[in-house]
Structure 1
Amino acid sequence: MPARPSAGCVFVELSLFKNLIVFRIGEAWQPDAQQLEDALANDLFAPCSPTQALAFGWAPPRGDEHGALIEIVGGQWLLKLAREQRLLPSSVVNDHVDTLAQRVEAETGRKPGKKLRRDLKDQALLDLLPQAFTKRSATRVWIDPTQRLLMVDAGSAGRADEVTTMLVRASSDLPLSLINTAESPAACMAAWLADGTAPEGFQIERECELKGHDDEKPVVRYARHPLDTDEVRQHLTAGKLPTRLALSWRERVGFTLTDTMAIKKINFLDLALEGQTAGEGDDAFDADAALATGLLSKMIPALIDGLGGEQAFGEAAAAAPAPALAPAAEAVEGEAPW
């Protein structure tokens, strides 16, 4: 469930940005949207071939077939990484491997060993992939060139890694590193809950998850529940730390902060829409983008400040290569529809 807003606030559904993982772009980077777009064009999205399990590529953010790969709204850059995956349940693959193994045993009189079964699994995948259903999804990407921030609308680190890997492959002079704050989000969230006060502009809402660090790793979850209670403080005193905490910012944005500084379950409150008019097509895209980036480009630096400010590791650390592509996986929280 999304974070519950303060009294008098109502969440409003927008199409952009459900979750954000925030990266710092190194100081050496020189913003050039056209240059980056030309580089992205070398990795356009193409559907999976009959024997391909997973395909990635850049697609127009507006959804137009031949549209721009970078849309600029109010100085903010918007991109979209599309993916297509062939879905093969492991049970179907294993059944086909068994069928192939029985055929080998009938022909040779011997049961296939481990090495041969691995080869048979590869053969099974080649046989079954052309018949598999495909699933398309997309990950939205937002670059704030002025603040040198890159935000990935991903519900997991693996999906964010896919984006950063593709970006660095397209433009090797785009040094990226996860934002590191001077104080850990878990310690800060614990202090906010203990004091009942969040940083200026933020308000604690009614959802959180507390986790212990002993052998049993006990977990306590609160949903639609006041958090300024003795019970919550007793859990904190016992050594449990927050892994998720619902917050709102200036009665305009609701979200959940995690102990890895991921921003999840983003929702915009009714106060954010005062004076906004509904649009259609491109107008709706521009309005959503302007509203979301306009608010979040102020909220994210305020959140970093509330976590003690950014811990700088220098340009060398920022230029470290992005992680390798994660293997194919099932759908994850926050995945955008194709």
Structure 2
Amino acid sequence: MWFKNLRVYRFSRPCDITADSLETALTEFSFKPCGSQDRQQLGWVTPLGKHGQTLLHVANNNLLVCMRREERVLPSAVVKEALDAKVAEIEEAQGRPVPRKEQQTLKEEIEMQLLPRAFTRSQMTFAYISPANNLLVVDASSAGKADELVSLLRKTVGSLPVVPLTSKTNPAACMTEWVKNGPLPDGFGLLEEAELRDASEDGGLIRCKQQDLTSDEIYAHLEAGKMVTKLALDWRERLTCLLEQELVIKRLKFNDILREESGNADDIDAVAKFDADFMLMCGELANFIPELMESLGGEEISELNG
């Protein structure tokens, strides 16, 4: 149980969600597979997969949930082929062109006919609530996936007053300063990957990999006005990540030594291994997130109702 991405949300008031209340609420919105006419379904499943029975996993008062998204896959090419055949049939039988509005109606009818035979695919999205730290942490690479989970969780618990974590200083400005002039904040180190973008609307974009970011070449780009919008960082040799200007963490990777602290899978059962990994991860992130925010000038506290 190790997250690969971080989208972090701050509760605008002390989090009062408890394990018991959340477990009860999750049951009402448990996952149900797509019916014959459903395009997609969202719902909660056990975070432990085949090893779990409950929809909530709790460790050190951190509340882990897992959302399953199932959708029917209906390729547009298949729909178009069926629609073209139907339009051709009508034109030949009735000797008239089929207007666009009628074609749209035919398309919708064809999709409804094909849906029951369409394959389904599923995706899991994990998140945990840390009441002690007043945070919701979502493992999602895209904003869309995170928004789906937050919306479902809000519907599940009735009220979820959270906003994305925001820093007092523009992350792109901070990252640019780190690379251009240094030094980095205590505990953080540069790796060899970054994205540099011109501030103008149609400005250029440079992606660097396996590149010394302190080189004269990179400095020249920054002097010319480019900003660092993505930056690979090491944190205390405990984890590495790619920090984006939207304050999103991607390609999060925990140190192998840390991962081994929870024991080998051969030594302990799967549930104990999962639990140990989750506790270790939450412990690391409880230190990493505040230090990251401090490095960006501190956290901007937002007011939110609801």
Question: TM-score per shorter chain, which class?
Answer: over 0.9
Residue 202 of structure 2 is matched in structure 1 by 216
1:29–1:173 contact (8 Å) kept in structure 2: no
Instruction: Give the total of aligned pairs.
Output: 303
Q: Percentage identity across aligned positions?
A: 36
Aligned mates of 2:261, 2:134 — CA distance in 1: 29
Out of 297, 300, 303, which is 2:286 matched to?
A: 297
Residue 112 of structure 1 is matched in structure 2 by 98
Aligned mates of 1:179, 1:53 — CA distance in 2: 32
Query: Offset at 1:145?
Result: 0.9
Aligned mates of 2:63, 2:146 — CA distance in 1: 17
Residue 32 of structure 1 is matched in structure 2 by 18
1:179-230 Cα offsets, whole Å, 9 max, x none, are 1110111111101111232211111111111111335331111112211111
1:230-277 Cα offsets, whole Å, 9 max, x none, are 111111121211221100111011111001011100111134246442
Q: Is 1:149 aligned to 2:119, yes or no?
A: no
CA distance 1:275–1:284, change in 2 (3 Å)? closer
Q: Is 1:169 aligned to 2:155, yes or no?
A: yes
Q: What secondary structure is seen at the aligned counterpart in 2 of 1:315?
A: coil
Q: Is 1:49 aligned to 2:38, yes or no?
A: no
- 4+ aligned runs moved over 6 Å, structure 1: none
Q: What secondary structure is seen at the aligned counterpart in 1 of 2:154?
A: helix
1:247–1:257 contact (8 Å) kept in structure 2: yes
Choose 126-135 or 24-33, whichever is displaced more.
24-33
Aligned mates of 2:262, 2:274 — CA distance in 1: 13
Aligned mates of 1:101, 1:34 — CA distance in 2: 56
Q: Is 1:18 aligned to 2:4, yes or no?
A: yes
1:282-313 Cα offsets, whole Å, 9 max, x none, are 01111211121111111011101111111112
Query: Offset at 1:67?
Result: 1.4
Aligned mates of 2:147, 2:32 — CA distance in 1: 20
Choose 166-175 or 77-86, whichever is displaced more.
166-175
1:209–1:221 contact (8 Å) kept in structure 2: yes
Query: Offset at 1:107?
Result: 3.3
Aligned mates of 1:17, 1:313 — CA distance in 2: 26
1:88–1:129 contact (8 Å) kept in structure 2: yes
Alignment of 1:308-323 (within 5 A): 308-316=297-305, 319=306
Residue 330 of structure 1 is matched in structure 2 by none
Q: Which letter maps to 2:13? A: E
**TM-score (structure 1 length as normaliser):** 0.85
2:172–2:227 contact (8 Å) kept in structure 1: yes
Aligned mates of 1:144, 1:80 — CA distance in 2: 15
Root-mean-square deviation (CA), in Å? 1.6
Aligned mates of 2:116, 2:210 — CA distance in 1: 47
- Which runs of no fewer than 5 residues in structure 2 stay unpaired? none
Aligned mates of 1:27, 1:117 — CA distance in 2: 51
Residue 183 of structure 1 is matched in structure 2 by 169
**TM-score (structure 2 length as normaliser):** 0.94
Query: Offset at 1:26?
Result: 2.1
Aligned mates of 2:199, 2:80 — CA distance in 1: 38
Aligned mates of 1:109, 1:70 — CA distance in 2: 61
